[in-house]
Structure 1
Amino acid sequence: MIEDTSGPGTVRPGGRTARVREAVLRAAGDALVERGFGGVDLAEVARRAGVGKTTVYRRWGTVPGLVADMLAEMAESSQPRADTGSFAADLAALAALIRETLTDERQGPLFKAVIATATGDAGTAAALHRFYRTRIEEWSPCVDRAVDRGEVPEGTDAAEVIRFLSAPLYYRLLASGDPLDAGTAQRAAAATAAAAREGVFVTAR
């Protein structure tokens, strides 16, 4: 059994605390995918993770707390933004990354479960919103650099560009059930780049 005797928020990268967090969040993710939010039990998560029950209750306290930390960990471990020197290529890299994540055999179902939970739990919804703000902030400089290079107009709203690119990919994952293939990602990136060049996302001049 992995036991953690440190207090909440004390993280030693590569140490026991990091291993405990990794094991607990993986176990929580597995339970969420298998049973949904209502079926996640902290004691069961502790058993699956091989850690003491008191550790899970002390560090996370509630299931929404676990989900919030899971999303924080996903944001921390996501790939950094591309810097290809081309606006269109940067967007293509982002679209490919989103598609790869959403079609991953673990990450795809996990995102579905978290999003479904967020529709009925305010804490999970807030954590999900933080996750996407973090990812938008990570990739927005791609748009800012494109403005500096003269590829898109001044005043282009970088966050809105990232949202526009992401939307059709999430639509296929969550609503239509249509294939989420490489061609879909490429078209989303190309359409977003074309719209940005035309000034569709300009909010100030």
Structure 2
Amino acid sequence: NPAIGIKAEKPKNQSFEIMSHDEIELLLAQPNLSTPKGLRDRAMLEVLYATGMRVSEVCSLGLKDVNLKHSYIFCHTGGKERVIPIYPIAVDCLKNYIENARPTLLKGQTKNPVLFLNTGGEELSRQGFWKVLKRYATDAGIPANITPHTLRHSFATHLLENGADIHDLREILGHSDISSMHVYTKYLKEKMRTNYIKHHPRA
């Protein structure tokens, strides 16, 4: 077969939803922090936006992967490990969840090493995470088709907009090839051109 060994090209017309900063803040404000589930959900959403991790990576996190003292998370994917910093608000939300909500969700279990638990005391599934996110997006009145990957894309785009180094960001996202970042740089160039046309008096 002459096609063996030839890598298929990725689609060139990749597009994705990006949430605004206001939409992110609105989404993060939705969980009810007076309940164990609300504390869990707020911590999960903060971790997702703080790290840009894939939803499968967030759901598979263990307690041992979180270092609150030094504000970072260990992420394990495909036999590789990366260390991702997290901002102070995310640290506080994780601490609050671990100390005040997770013991309740454990349902008397003592050996479950998973960080984020469902209401039955087991590992929260990807589907469960999606449902949580969808509900809060609806409650917040965010019209876009929000998925966990939307927060990952928003995380990456917001960091690049604020001057983050693209190579550092590639490491944080867990991309092995810098070409994987093209979709973000293309988006930012298109956004810059749109703003130029909108604001230049002769455009």
Range class of TM-score, shorter chain = under 0.3
Structure richer in helix, relative to its length: 1
Higher relative contact order structure (alpha carbons within 8 Å, sequence separation ≥ 6)? 2
